[in-house]
Amino acid sequence: MEPFIQTHSSIVELKNWHDSNPNLTVGLTTRKGGVSEPPFDSFNLGLHVNDNKVDVLTNRKLLSQLLHYPIENWVMGEQTHGVAIHVVTPDDKGKGAFHDSTALQDTDGLITKERNVLLSAMFADCVPLYFWDTSTNWIGIAHAGWKGTVNQMAGCMVEKLQEQGANLDTLLVAIGPSIAYCNYEIDQYVYDHIPAKWRNLVTNQLDNSNYLFNLSKLNYYILIDQGIQPKNIYQSSLCTYSDSLFFSHRYENGQTGRMLGYIGRR
């Protein structure tokens, strides 16, 4: 069953997590319901894509009202397709929320145990990874494009959470909407960077010597390898490339907006 449910034109929610803990706010925005003009139409949340800044901040205000999280409480990383993870404290509130220049530098993963902080990250085909330990209430979000995925950002997040005291047995992970296997063609260079033990499980060679690559499935295998129980992994089947509900960097040749993935605990 699809774990990400559209509960509003502008968001898909990880509803079963929220139902388990009403204080938990977790999901991904869509491209619907904002004020941005084409090609960023209409609910673009990214300040780094040459959209009108006023429009983006208007969209962020609309989202803050929808989620009941003031923008001043959002935290964002710079997102450089790496595996650096930041432990968010109250002092980080507002970083990246109003200006890209204030985002946490060289950061693709965020974790916290703080309440009333909205961890957030930008997506447009890359894989959103969400984490919640039901016993300790550590939460996290990570951005995993092909570079982050093959460098095992999913595993890095699990290790970092455990270092901070999260319990592996009660740690839930959700693999959010991203570009589907059938739409993600890669070349030999990317293929060679996929860890060898999973390479044949997540790719299929095409006639043109390129490959189809299942980003979502590789993240799943990495999580299993890290000790996450299969029953604790929630995997979306929504495709950002083929579903007009979402922005897609690949489908729109880079000229598009960004969805915002988020998780917070009141």
Domain ranges in the chain are: 4-265
Instruction: Give the DSSP per-residue string, 42-63.
Output: TT---SSSS--HHHHHHHHHHH
Q: What is the pLDDT of residues 177-203, one digit of tens each?
A: 999 999 999 999 999 999 999 999 999
pLDDT at 207: 87
The 3-state DSSP class for residue 110 equals: strand
What CA–CA distance (Å, rounded) separates 69 from 117?
8
Q: Could you give phi then psi for residue 63, rounded to 5 degrees?
A: -70, -40
What CA–CA distance (Å, rounded) separates 246 from 235?
17
What CA–CA distance (Å, rounded) separates 115 from 239?
31
Per CATH, domain 4-265 is 3.60.140.10: yes
Q: Euclidean distance between the first and final Cα of the chain, in Å?
A: 27
pLDDT at 205: 95
> Which residue stretches of the chain have pLDDT < 70?
none
pTM higher than the cut 0.95: yes
Q: State both tokens at 222.
A: 């990495």
CA 57 to chain centre: 20
